[in-house]
């Protein structure tokens, strides 16, 4: 091993055409960027204080200005460098982005008597290029605004209106600047994708060439260029991100990649066998399988406090990984499954620390490796597509998120081998019932938690005094917020019956009906 850790080495070659999504806050920019990519055009998100010179240097094929929570009239409202409007690059403003176009180019953004939130009806105005010649007379669009454009800037025309937005579509064909007050990126605007497609493909001339096939090809070339004749190692967690990163790097450098899988003994039932089977046997990847369960359990003896548990598991993990990887001679590169949302969010989040997630199951920053991060430009759904195209099985590609400390944070109180066995069995039943009900892809996570209490029950004629299992199932888009899943009663009943009948040491099952916030998804 040698060389410093290089921050954020990009291992995905830049595609020919780029769309920049200028972020004016809230959650809109990521969704827009994903929609652009669904239309097979590569997009990146950029902060709103970007200068015209920076934009000109990056030569995007188009720019989209996102919505945001501000009003153009408040002090310090985010603005766009006005010189960007003169670059001749096609621009589409959405909601706040459209208001900003009007406001900065000499139109008027007024306060309406009332805002518009939710579905509303857009009525086509004079024929325009953005809605296109085939646009219906009226269509449903989704709105979320208070301010609205009341006077178009010189040279612009309004081509559509809703009850509370007299200029809901704004156009200037010769300057190649368009705006919409509604949100084409959300599913509640049925023709939204058609509008984005028209802007990107027809008006801005973007070619639909960003496919996962092309991503694999360019990534493989970029990985080869970065690693050269070197060797790389990759820590596999069993999760989709590290799995796809490893499969991609393996395609690029073959046997010069070695994966390390640390079996903490806190994995789900049969999970370790499946990881070994998939990577070693099917993908032919060299894999070091470290069975470290005993070591983890020894160190966890007497540890009950959640943060202490995470810290302990994290420390043992790093030591075990270092020992295993130290034996791999000449490995200069460490493969990591960093995703684009991590890149966007890193450094910008000042949210209070609720749990020390990223220190657990992760690696310290002073490891002397150069980073290979082939998924740095991809969203999760794209990573899944790449994984499938690389031949990874659905069980890995569609695996639910699983915390680094594993079952350790789903066993409340001290972790023992007996409790791990109980929880593994109960958890396997929960997941298999969810799969049998066909709900796997609708549910963000479904798992079992073992409480540190015992309750009285009666089985046969015998009094029992055993542990309860709590079933936790949530729906979510990104784990930042989550809703408890409304599972059908008969599904809950079969989970409960099976757990009590099949798992020794459990005599009661409860269902957690707490959303996040106020709860977190995991119990610790
Ligand atoms: P919470 O419990 O904070 O979890 O609502 C949000 C998401 O993060 C996962 N999680 C973790 N992931 N290391 C991880 O890699 C961790 O220590 C960790 N703790 C929680 C959790 O499963 C959920 O998807």
| Helix, coil or strand: residue 522 | coil
Q: Note the pLDDT of residue 180.
A: 98
CA 412 to ligand 1 center in whole angstroms: 15
76 assigned to active site: no
Q: What's the mean pLDDT in 481-499?
A: 97
Residue 11 within any structural domain of the chain: no
Which residue in 48, 103, 145, 183 is the catalytic one?
183
Residue 405 within any structural domain of the chain: no
Cβ neighbourhood burial of 74 (10 Å; 0-12, 13-18, 19+): exposed
Do 503 and 389 touch, CB atoms closer than 8 A? no
What average pLDDT does the chain have? Answer: 91
Q: Are residues 260 and 285 in the same domain?
A: yes
Q: What's the mean pLDDT in 67-96?
A: 95
Do 1 and 369 touch, CB atoms closer than 8 A? yes
Q: Note the pLDDT of residue 368.
A: 79
CA 321 to ligand 1 center in whole angstroms: 21
Residues 6+ apart with CB under 8 A from 396: 238, 240, 243, 274, 278, 387
- List the CATH number of the domain containing 83: 3.40.50.880
Q: Are residues 374 and 460 in the same domain?
A: no
Percent of the chain with pLDDT over 70: 93
User: Partners of 234 in the beta sheet?
Assistant: 259, 335
Which of 267, 357, 520 to mutate to test ligand 1, by most ligand atoms within 8 A of the CB atom?
357
Q: Are residues 61 and 182 in the same domain?
A: yes
Residue 12 within any structural domain of the chain: no
- Predicted confidence band of residue 3 (pLDDT cuts 50, 70, 90): very low
The 8-class DSSP code of residue 476 comes to -
| Helix, coil or strand: residue 432 | helix
CA 318 to ligand 1 center in whole angstroms: 18
> Whole-angstrom Cα distance, residue 288 to residue 261?
6
171 assigned to active site: no
**Residue 235: closest CA among 253, 262, 266:** 262
Q: What does DSSP say about strands 462-475 and 455-459: parallel, antiparallel, or unpaired?
A: antiparallel
Q: Are residues 316 and 258 in the same domain?
A: yes
Domain boundary among 177, 203, 229: 203
- List the CATH number of the domain containing 461: 3.30.300.10
Residue pointed to by tokens 């200029």: 167
Q: How many residues does the chain have?
A: 524
* Three-class DSSP labels, 294-354: HHHHHHHCCCCCHHHHHHHHHHHHHHHHHHHHHCCCCEEEEECCCCHHHHHHCCCCCCCCC
The 8-class DSSP code of residue 5 comes to P
Residue 5 within any structural domain of the chain: no
Q: What's the mean pLDDT in 240-244?
A: 95
CA 422 to ligand 1 center in whole angstroms: 21
> In this structure, which residue's CA is closest to atom 17 in ligand 1?
357
- Report the side by side order of strands in the sheet with 286-291: 286-291, 257-263, 231-236, 331-335, 370-372
CA 405 to ligand 1 center in whole angstroms: 9
Residue 372 within any structural domain of the chain: yes
Q: Are residues 187 and 235 in the same domain?
A: no
CA 427 to ligand 1 center in whole angstroms: 17
Which pairs from 354-359 meet CB under 8 Å and 24+ separation?
354/520, 355/306, 355/307, 355/310, 355/520, 355/522, 355/524, 356/307, 356/310, 356/311, 356/314, 357/403, 357/404, 359/310, 359/311, 359/314
How far apart, in Å, do the first and last CA atoms of the chain sit?
36
> Whole-angstrom Cα distance, residue 522 to residue 524?
6
Respond yes or no on whether the N-terminal peptide bond of residue 395 is cis (omega within 30° of 0): no
Which of 314, 315, 443, 522 to mutate to test ligand 1, by most ligand atoms within 8 A of the CB atom?
522
> Whole-angstrom Cα distance, residue 259 to residue 239?
13
Residues with CB under 6 A from ligand 1: 310, 354-355, 357, 360-361, 401, 403-405, 445, 479, 516, 520-522
Q: Are residues 28 and 157 in the same domain?
A: yes
| Nearest atom within ligand 1 for CA of residue 482 | 5
Q: Are residues 226 and 350 in the same domain?
A: yes
Domain boundary among 150, 168, 203: 203
259 assigned to active site: no
- Predicted confidence band of residue 283 (pLDDT cuts 50, 70, 90): confident
Q: Note the pLDDT of residue 6.
A: 35
> In this structure, which residue's CA is closest to atom 12 in ligand 1?
403
> In this structure, which residue's CA is closest to atom 10 in ligand 1?
403
> Whole-angstrom Cα distance, residue 110 to residue 73?
9
Q: Where are the alpha helices (DSSP H) in 452-508?
A: 489-502
Q: What's the mean pLDDT in 159-185?
A: 96
CA 473 to ligand 1 center in whole angstroms: 14
Residue 191 within any structural domain of the chain: yes
User: Which phi-psi region, left, alpha or beta, contains residue 53 (left: φ > 0; alpha: ψ -120 to 50)?
Assistant: alpha
Q: Are residues 68 and 37 in the same domain?
A: yes
Q: Note the pLDDT of residue 113.
A: 63
- Predicted confidence band of residue 312 (pLDDT cuts 50, 70, 90): very high
> In this structure, which residue's CA is closest to atom 21 in ligand 1?
403
Which of 403, 483, 512 to mutate to test ligand 1, by most ligand atoms within 8 A of the CB atom?
403
CA 401 to ligand 1 center in whole angstroms: 8
On the question of pLDDT at 7 being above 70, the answer is no
- Domain that residue 145 falls in: 19-203
Cβ neighbourhood burial of 154 (10 Å; 0-12, 13-18, 19+): exposed
**Domain total in the chain:** 3
Q: Are residues 385 and 448 in the same domain?
A: no
Q: Note the pLDDT of residue 145.
A: 85
| Helix, coil or strand: residue 63 | strand
> Whole-angstrom Cα distance, residue 339 to residue 242?
10
Which of 345, 355, 380, 412 to mutate to test ligand 1, by most ligand atoms within 8 A of the CB atom?
355
Residue 13 within any structural domain of the chain: no
Cβ neighbourhood burial of 480 (10 Å; 0-12, 13-18, 19+): exposed
Q: Are residues 279 and 217 in the same domain?
A: yes
- DSSP per-residue letters across 38-58: HTT-EEEEEETT--HHHHHHH
On the question of pLDDT at 249 being above 50, the answer is yes
| Nearest atom within ligand 1 for CA of residue 401 | 24
* CA distances for 309 relative to 295, 404, 414, 425, angstroms: 14, 11, 9, 22
**Residue 45: closest CA among 337, 339, 376, 344:** 344
Q: Are residues 187 and 265 in the same domain?
A: no
Q: Are residues 182 and 217 in the same domain?
A: no
Q: Note the pLDDT of residue 351.
A: 44
Percent of the chain with pLDDT over 90: 81
Residue pointed to by tokens 């740095």: 376
Q: Note the pLDDT of residue 14.
A: 64
pLDDT tens digits for 117-128?
Answer: 889 999 998 888
Do 36 and 200 touch, CB atoms closer than 8 A? yes
Do 44 and 21 touch, CB atoms closer than 8 A? yes
pLDDT tens digits for 321-377?
Answer: 999 988 787 899 999 999 998 888 764 444 455 666 654 566 776 677 899 999 999
Domain boundary among 397, 425, 451: 397
User: Partners of 210 in the beta sheet?
Assistant: none
Which residue in 44, 116, 171, 185 is the catalytic one?
185
pLDDT tens digits for 183-209?
Answer: 999 989 999 999 999 999 999 999 999
- List the CATH number of the domain containing 311: 3.40.50.620
Q: What's the mean pLDDT in 61-90?
A: 95
Do 309 and 405 touch, CB atoms closer than 8 A? yes
């Amino acid at each position: 091993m040698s060389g410093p850790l290089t921050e954020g080495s990009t291992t995905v070659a830049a595609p020919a055409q780029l769309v920049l999504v200028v972020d004016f806050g809230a959650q809109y920019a990521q969704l827009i960027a994903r929609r652009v990519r669904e239309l097979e055009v590569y997009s990146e998100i950029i902060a709103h204080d970007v200068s015209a010179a920076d934009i000109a240097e990056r030569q995007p094929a188009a720019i989209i200005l996102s919505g945001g929570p501000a009003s153009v009239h408040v002090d310090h409202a985010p603005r766009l460098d006005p010189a960007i409007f003169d670059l001749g690059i096609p621009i589409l403003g959405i909601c706040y982005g459209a208001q900003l176009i009007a406001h900065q180019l000499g139109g008027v953004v007024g306060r309406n008597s009332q805002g518009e939130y939710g579905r509303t009806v857009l009525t086509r105005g004079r024929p325009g290029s953005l809605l296109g010649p085939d646009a219906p007379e009226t269509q449903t669009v989704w709105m979320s605004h208070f301010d609205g454009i009341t006077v178009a800037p010189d040279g612009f025309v309004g081509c559509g209106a809703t009850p509370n937005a007299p200029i809901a579509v704004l156009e200037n064909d010769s300057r190649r600047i368009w705006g919409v007050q509604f949100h084409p990126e959300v599913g509640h605007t049925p023709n939204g994708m058609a509008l984005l497609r028209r802007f990107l493909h027809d008006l801005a001339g973007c070619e639909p060439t960003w496919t996962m096939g092309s991503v694999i090809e360019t990534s493989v070339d970029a990985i080869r260029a970065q690693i050269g004749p070197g060797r790389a190692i990759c820590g596999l967690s069993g999760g989709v991100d590290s799995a796809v990163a490893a499969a991609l790097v393996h395609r690029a450098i073959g046997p010069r990649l070695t994966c390390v899988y640390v079996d903490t003994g806190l994995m789900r039932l049969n999970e370790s066998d499946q990881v070994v089977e998939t990577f070693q046997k099917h993908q032919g990847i060299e894999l070091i399988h470290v069975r470290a369960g005993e070591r983890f359990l020894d160190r966890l003896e007497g540890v009950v406090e959640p943060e202490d548990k995470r810290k302990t598991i994290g420390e043992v993990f790093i030591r075990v990984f270092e020992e295993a990887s130290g034996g791999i001679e000449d490995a200069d590169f460490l493969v990591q499954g960093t995703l684009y949302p991590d890149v966007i969010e890193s450094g910008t989040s000042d949210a209070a620390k609720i749990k020390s997630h990223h220190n657990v199951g992760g690696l310290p920053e002073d490891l002397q490796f150069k980073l290979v991060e082939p998924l740095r430009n991809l969203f999760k759904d794209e990573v899944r597509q790449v994984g499938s195209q690389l031949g990874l099985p659905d069980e890995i590609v569609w695996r639910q998120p699983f915390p680094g400390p594993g079952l350790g944070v789903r066993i409340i109180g001290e972790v023992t081998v007996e409790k791990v066995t109980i929880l593994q069995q109960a958890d396997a039943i929960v997941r298999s019932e969810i799969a049998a009900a066909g709900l796997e892809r609708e549910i963000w996570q479904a798992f079992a938690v073992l409480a540190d209490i015992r309750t009285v029950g009666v089985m046969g004629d015998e009094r029992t005094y055993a542990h309860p299992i709590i079933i936790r199932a949530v729906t979510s888009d990104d784990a930042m917020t989550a809703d408890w899943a409304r599972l059908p009663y008969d599904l809950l009943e079969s989970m409960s019956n099976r757990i009590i009948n099949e798992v020794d040491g459990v005599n009661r099952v409860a269902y957690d009906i707490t959303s996040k916030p106020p709860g977190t998804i995991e119990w610790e």
